[in-house]
Amino acid sequence: MNGTIGIKVDVDTFQGMRNGVPVLLDIFRRHGVRASFFVPMGKDNTGRTVKRVFTRKGFLKKAGRVGVVSTYGVKTLMYGLVLPGPQIARRNITLVRKILDDGHELGIHGHDHVRWHDSIKHFDEAETRREVDRLLTVYRMVVGEEARSFAAPGWMINPFALKVFEEKGLVYSSDTRGACPFYPEMGGTRFSIVQIPTTLPTLDEVIGVVSAEENILVDHYLALLADGLNILTVHTELEGKRWSGFLDTFLTEAKERGFAFRRLMDIAREFNDTPDGPVCTIEYGSVPGRAGEVCCQKDR
């Protein structure tokens, strides 16, 4: 089987950055894999997700399956509630540099992950521009160059954000669940910035649904791989912690089956060089195993 896998690493929390990123860097180094890391540019306010108990159907059920306390830790669940949230990117500049030095891509995963995830759908253009300007400014300060990629927290986006990304010269964003790269249309406007959707379920969507056993989960993911392009989103709080063995085994098995690994930036640039790439709409929808809405790729 000949196919490609793009590994998209979402950092959601300060501890995920501080403790999970080094674990993933070590795994990728041993396998010779280059991935795309996406880091929040602002504070960790994970504790504010508590309101999702009341606003998102199925949130408690999913939290129970995954094990919220063991995944995030008590201290992280207090950030933004009774403890001040620490700066994720600015307090981990050494790790940011390590990601880049190892040949991985570094993109942006929002400013305040919780605020973007829960509110971006309802932001008007002015509020969206302020939020995007804030996260681009921090990236420039931390990295020393302009950002070129973005991945939406919770796969939630609005057309105003896509418009600003296009104006700022980002190469692509990864904000949706879908099947293949495309040029997005949202809110009646078509955009020229490439959209690279996550094509595979995330681990937290299948733990306790397919199985809670590592070997069964690895076999499940291998069976889902397509001959063409596959985009897998991993999380530093899961695959960078308790489930690191799952990722390690998955990479070993996928490589043995002939799959190659590429950064999302390389995939996006190749797509940009391909004439007549598909144009698809972005709509709010849902995916199995995840509470609440996500943005989904839909054929026109």
* pLDDT per position as a tens digit, 117-152: 999 999 999 999 999 999 999 999 999 999 999 999
The reported pLDDT for the residue numbered 54 is 47
Q: Give the residue-averaged pLDDT of 63-86.
A: 81
pLDDT band at 59 (very low <50, low <70, confident <90, very high): low
The reported pLDDT for the residue numbered 107 is 98
pLDDT of residue 82 exceeding 50, the answer is yes
- Give Dmax (Cα) for the chain: 52
Which residues lie below 8 Å from residue 133, measured CB to CB, with a gap of 6+? 164
The reported pLDDT for the residue numbered 99 is 98
Alpha carbons 262 and 258: distance in angstroms, whole number: 13
Mean pLDDT of the chain: 94
In the chain, what are the domain boundaries? 4-299
DSSP 198: B
- Relative to beta strand 172-174, strand 149-151 is parallel
pLDDT of residue 60 exceeding 60, the answer is no
* pLDDT per position as a tens digit, 147-194: 999 999 999 999 999 999 999 999 999 999 999 999 999 999 999 999
Q: How far is CA 217 from the centre of its chain?
A: 20
pLDDT of residue 57 exceeding 50, the answer is yes
**Residue 283 main-chain phi, psi, to 5 deg:** -130, 150
Class of domain 4-299: alpha beta
pLDDT of residue 96 exceeding 60, the answer is yes
Helices (H), 120-263: 125-143, 159-168, 203-206, 214-224, 244-256
Q: Give the residue-averaged pLDDT of 94-116.
A: 97
The reported pLDDT for the residue numbered 245 is 98
Alpha carbons 202 and 204: distance in angstroms, whole number: 6
Contact criterion met (CB below 8 Å) for 37 and 107: yes
pLDDT of residue 7 exceeding 70, the answer is yes
How many CB atoms lie under 10 A from the CB of residue 274? 9
Q: Give the residue-averaged pLDDT of 256-285.
A: 95
Which residues lie below 8 Å from residue 234, measured CB to CB, with a gap of 6+? 7, 8, 9, 10, 24, 202, 203, 240, 247
Q: What percent of the chain has pLDDT over 90?
A: 84
Side-chain-side CA neighbours of residue 296 (13 Å):
14
The reported pLDDT for the residue numbered 106 is 98
pLDDT of residue 44 exceeding 60, the answer is yes
The reported pLDDT for the residue numbered 65 is 61
Alpha carbons 285 and 74: distance in angstroms, whole number: 31
Q: Give the residue-averaged pLDDT of 264-277.
A: 93
Q: Name which residue leads in pLDDT, 80 or 250.
A: 250
Alpha carbons 72 and 14: distance in angstroms, whole number: 10
Alpha carbons 129 and 102: distance in angstroms, whole number: 32
pLDDT band at 58 (very low <50, low <70, confident <90, very high): low
